[in-house]
Chains A and B, each alone.
Chain A
């Protein structure tokens, strides 16, 4: 029995607030935590099927062209060059496999073959010593040196921003550059493939199993029912595991050809080349306001890059149309087609760099107009979505700004360059946080067992987001069970297909499907109790209606199983859905070296219902730390001659370390969003990154007066602006 819901209208029932168990929202420890802290949770490359052999990917050493010949590999079992091997990873939610044919090279570092041997050491040695002949082709690799495409659907204009700029009391017209960035999840992409007859089971690091299964079936040329994917634990994703990648397809092909299970794990350097990068961006922002700080013009022009033919282009301006109001607005989205490593989704595609740069521009306008940065934002919050005039499903930006200013001590902020402690210049900065919200179709199965425990099954993944725990809490709350009486099974395509982890939609989408399944089970218990479902109270394994109290053991004959099926509906179009927040940072800039230390950082966030206060907070810590990386350290450099990724390991690409991050502070605003399903919960995994870097960059300016518009703000770039 399946309970289905299409979210076509509001839900003001607050049902989860009226359940009796009292576990939803609680800061419970992660269900799978004991396995993770003892090293017992098993990730992609952590199975050892009998007879397993090892494959190592071979990469192209030319920017584009053709592989003419690959020599022998002494000591190896095989060199696989199957034409089904893919040239780059699938984009999130693709229904088909990516372009195949590894002999045609589209970028330096593309996977062109797989060497398989009895041991990892032998495979690696053989792969490194292959003789390969190419026919190279000259191709553009520099985004600034080609004429970009201007996809018509991605341009928009209302009024005349040029005119607004001419008439403005104050304005900003500047260009920012953000470098390419990468997810750099700690677990490198890996897969173990094993065939049983004509069916393949692939254990891999993947975020979205239901679409990954379609991609894999298409890539291998077999029916979807012949593909089973397993991803019980995923060592981080941040977008890099949204789609299948070269290692999993190659492992499946090799396992078929050699008749043995094959493991292929990417090296860290291969991850930098083969997992999607976030495109570098060039952003021109124009802001015009009147003497009181009311915006009259907003222009946001973005140049990004991707491979020729790729449908993905970094949606830099995604939040710009609805964050602030102005009569005159223009969006320009330009795409340079170049042959660098493939571009795709990295945590909060669009807003991560778009909101960050936009919020730096707002800081510059506040300075130009002599208005407090918080006030400037408060003055320009729209009542309805500009242009479309759609209502917002909920809107918490103003509250997040005021609450943040109060908690952070914003009133103590001093004018630029006036707070000095020895050789350190101290400053405070802030930024708004905003991220679009969405739901994605999702299914889950819940089984209530007579002895008072429940099982949740869905092919949803937990990539560190807390899925195991929140789905367990939801079922426990709805079915009136202690949280430790719910077992959650994820990451297996034998379970009902879920939304997957991506775009911050995972918790709300899969959570609503679990809620629906539990609602169906509650209806059946209510029937056995002879009451309406609404009048039923479930708590600690007991059912209560009026004066009647019975145990689940009496009411459940063996088991009750139900499926929940959630689909987004009309509220997706009728209302602008977004999550809101504010970021606050205090930094110290060294007068002589230009070194920046983040001394304090705080975020205030509103994301609808918080399902687990502990794991939700951790999501925000992660996002804010990504923001520190964007502001200060992260840059993927490509060689301008051949486009190869130069900074392709963790010593060259600097993600923040322990020493870069102070004790971060996170606060949630209580909120129930009625337009996002009965959970009233929205996405949170990405909000913490959106604008976080701007708070740091704006604090740097407040500290020392330097505006860094070419990110990251490394010491050399700050010294260049400091007084000698």
Chain B
């Protein structure tokens, strides 16, 4: 079927099998392999991308469902010569080892910080309506949909807190 994906600010017309997931459209059809396939059924978070600014699992989204939405992948967040603040802090804090879950972690963290800014509480929050202290527990809870077997968790949380501090979003250390 003919579809058009709006990806990282550019339109991409595609001819895909209706069964094609957004993840496989990115990886197999568009050569955007930054979005990773770790489990292909919503259990690991490696395929996290942003749809209209919200984090979703690209493996649980058919490509045709993404039509009419703005999709941002890791390639759209920054480049090796121009890293986003989160990408820079992941690098500085060694928030990854093998790097396979990393694009998903970074896309997820990008969406997560916006959720906090929008006043969405989590299971670890003290209040339902914010503001939220960006403690280790608060960030770890919100990032738990993104598995990392190398277990860079401690460093990932530190990287995210550093960015939150830099943007004045951290209410407490």
* Chain A contact residues, CB within 8 Å of chain B: 29-30, 32-43, 45-46, 48, 54, 119-122, 125, 183-188, 233-238, 265, 267-268, 463-466, 614-615, 617-619, 621-622, 624-626, 649-651, 655-659, 661-664
Q: Is B78's CB under 8 angstroms from A38's CB?
A: yes
- A220 CA to B148 CA, complexed, in Å: 34
Q: Is A235's CB under 8 angstroms from B154's CB?
A: no
Cβ of B55 under 8 Å from chain A: no
Binary interface encoding of chain B residues 87-110 relative to chain A, with 1 for a CB under 8 A from any of its CBs, else 0:
110111010111111110010000
User: Given A29-B92, A618-B150, A621-B154, is A186 in contact with B98 using a C-beta cutoff of 8 Å?
Assistant: yes
Q: Is B24's CB under 8 angstroms from A659's CB?
A: no
Q: Give chain B nearest CB distance to A526 CB in angstroms.
A: 36
Q: Is A662's CB under 8 angstroms from B90's CB?
A: no
Q: Give chain B nearest CB distance to A666 CB in angstroms.
A: 9
Partner of A663 from the list B32, B83, B136 (CB cut-off 8 Å) is B136
Residues of A within 8 A of B40 (CB): 267-268
Q: B143: nearest residue on chain A (CB-CB)?
A: A658
- A618 CA to B75 CA, complexed, in Å: 25
CB contacts between A and B, total, < 8 Å: 196
Partner of A649 from the list B41, B78, B106, B155 (CB cut-off 8 Å) is B41
Partner of B37 from the list A29, A185, A188 (CB cut-off 8 Å) is A188
- A39 CA to B44 CA, complexed, in Å: 17
Q: Give chain B nearest CB distance to A207 CB in angstroms.
A: 11
- A550 CA to B80 CA, complexed, in Å: 35
Closest 8 CB pairs of A and B: A39-B34, A235-B100, A464-B98, A36-B99, A464-B97, A625-B151, A39-B74, A34-B80
User: Given A186-B36, A268-B38, A659-B144, is A236 in contact with B100 using a C-beta cutoff of 8 Å?
Assistant: yes
Cβ of B69 under 8 Å from chain A: no
Cβ of B39 under 8 Å from chain A: yes
Q: Is A30's CB under 8 angstroms from B91's CB?
A: yes
Residues of B within 8 A of A656 (CB): 151, 153
Q: Is B98's CB under 8 angstroms from A48's CB?
A: no
Partner of A235 from the list B35, B36, B87, B153 (CB cut-off 8 Å) is B36
User: Given A625-B153, A649-B43, A663-B157, is A186 in contact with B38 using a C-beta cutoff of 8 Å?
Assistant: yes
Cβ of B147 under 8 Å from chain A: yes
- A662 CA to B98 CA, complexed, in Å: 21
- A212 CA to B132 CA, complexed, in Å: 51
User: Given A43-B100, A236-B100, A615-B94, is A38 in contact with B41 using a C-beta cutoff of 8 Å?
Assistant: no
Cβ of B4 under 8 Å from chain A: no
Residues of A within 8 A of B124 (CB): 659
A235-B98, A236-B100, A268-B43 known, 13 other contacts, Cβ within 8 Å: A37-B88, A37-B90, A46-B27, A121-B17, A121-B19, A187-B36, A235-B36, A614-B94, A618-B152, A649-B43, A661-B151, A662-B136, A663-B136
Q: Give chain A nearest CB distance to B157 CB in angstroms.
A: 7
Say whether chain A's binding surface is mostly helix, strand, loop, or mixed.
Answer: loop
Say whether chain B's binding surface is mostly helix, strand, loop, or mixed.
Answer: loop
User: Given A46-B33, A186-B36, A268-B43, is A38 in contact with B155 using a C-beta cutoff of 8 Å?
Assistant: no
Within 8 A of A (CB), among B38-54: 38-41, 43-44, 46
14 A-B pairs within 8 Å (CB atoms) are namely A36-B99, A37-B106, A45-B27, A267-B40, A464-B99, A618-B97, A621-B153, A621-B155, A622-B150, A625-B153, A650-B147, A656-B151, A661-B154, A664-B154
Residues of A within 8 A of B38 (CB): 186-188, 268, 650
Partner of A36 from the list B20, B102, B146 (CB cut-off 8 Å) is B102
Partner of B100 from the list A119, A120, A187, A465 (CB cut-off 8 Å) is A187
- A650 CA to B148 CA, complexed, in Å: 11
Residues of B within 8 A of A35 (CB): 80, 99
Residues of B within 8 A of A32 (CB): 99
Binary interface encoding of chain B residues 125-168 relative to chain A, with 1 for a CB under 8 A from any of its CBs, else 0:
00000000000110111011011111111111110000000000
Cβ of B31 under 8 Å from chain A: yes
User: Given A186-B46, A235-B98, A661-B140, is A38 in contact with B154 using a C-beta cutoff of 8 Å?
Assistant: no
Q: Is A236's CB under 8 angstroms from B153's CB?
A: no
Q: Is A661's CB under 8 angstroms from B94's CB?
A: no
Q: Is B106's CB under 8 angstroms from A658's CB?
A: no
Residues of A within 8 A of B91 (CB): 29-30, 33-34, 37
- A54 CA to B143 CA, complexed, in Å: 33
Q: Is B79's CB under 8 angstroms from A38's CB?
A: yes
Residues of A within 8 A of B151 (CB): 621-622, 624-626, 656, 661
- A39 CA to B33 CA, complexed, in Å: 7
Q: Is B153's CB under 8 angstroms from A185's CB?
A: no
Q: Is A465's CB under 8 angstroms from B97's CB?
A: yes
Q: Is B96's CB under 8 angstroms from A36's CB?
A: yes
Q: Give chain B nearest CB distance to A583 CB in angstroms.
A: 15
Residues of B within 8 A of A621 (CB): 151-155
Q: Give chain A nearest CB distance to B133 CB in angstroms.
A: 15
